[in-house]
Amino acid sequence: MILENNYGKIINHKKIIEIMQKYHLKTIIRRKKKRRRIADIASDGTLYQNVLNRNFEQQKPNSAYCTDISYLQYQRNNTAYLSALKDIASGEIIAYTLSQTLELDFVIKMIKTAVELTPPACLDKLILHSDRGGHYRSLVYQKLLKKYGITQSMSEPGNCLDNAPIESFFGHLKDDIDYKKCKTFEELEDMVKNYVYNYNNNRYQWNKNKMTPVQYKQYLLAA
């Protein structure tokens, strides 16, 4: 896809495999990682049904988002927490926040940023899907979604496949960047910022008509 889009060279994937074998080039194979449980916070809200129900074939941007939190461990056993929100239709990361703690504030900040970047007319038709973590069961979080008319959706218990699009993003991020070498939180912030920008604007995706998420979003809006 990079050869075709950036250099105008259309080469069959079998030829690429042949060249890789000739020069002993190997790609990274993603391995299944053990899912870590995010520590609970005060979850005084309610549980919601799985409204999204794995309907990942969305054709309209800003109609269904998914979100989750992932651990990023960097030098000297320091841990940061990445909260990200993805548009299921385009694959674009709409908003994200990186935090040194698991306090609710960094998730709320991400939601407010996403609301600012989403067309107001889309908010009351928007589905926001997550797992059943304490952040998403908190009354503050749920009241915020209701304030903007956003429909909340939750995965079934213990089923990460219900939230596969955002899980896929986290998997690619952890494979593509060497975040463990970061010496400071600020260095990690810069690395994540650059990755999200490149993911949205430069990373072609086979199932998105070989377009980047931003390109595919414009393609869907123009359709």
Task: Encode pLDDT of 55-87 as tens digits.
Answer: 999 999 999 999 999 999 998 889 999 999 999
Both tokens assigned to 85: 């929100």
Both tokens assigned to 38: 């995010």
**pLDDT number for residue 40:** 59
User: What are the chain's domains?
Assistant: 36-222 (3.30.420.10)
> CA dist 61 to 42, 91, 122, 152, 184, Å?
32, 9, 9, 17, 35
Grade residue 42 by pLDDT with cuts at 50, 70 and 90: low
**pLDDT number for residue 13:** 87
**pLDDT number for residue 45:** 77
What is d(CA 206, CA 4) in angstroms, rounded to the nearest whole number? 12
Both tokens assigned to 46: 């309610």
> CA dist 62 to 144, 150, 168, 183, 205, Å?
18, 11, 19, 36, 19
Alpha helices by DSSP H, 71-203: 105-117, 120-123, 139-147, 164-176, 185-201
C-alpha torsion 157→163→166→168, nearest 10? 100
**Res 168 pLDDT > 70:** yes
Model confidence over 128-159: pLDDT tens digits? 999 999 999 999 999 999 999 999 999 998 88
Across the beta sheet with 93-99, the strand order is 93-99, 78-87, 64-74, 127-130, 151-154
Both tokens assigned to 169: 């993003």
* Predicted model pTM: 0.89
Grade residue 37 by pLDDT with cuts at 50, 70 and 90: low
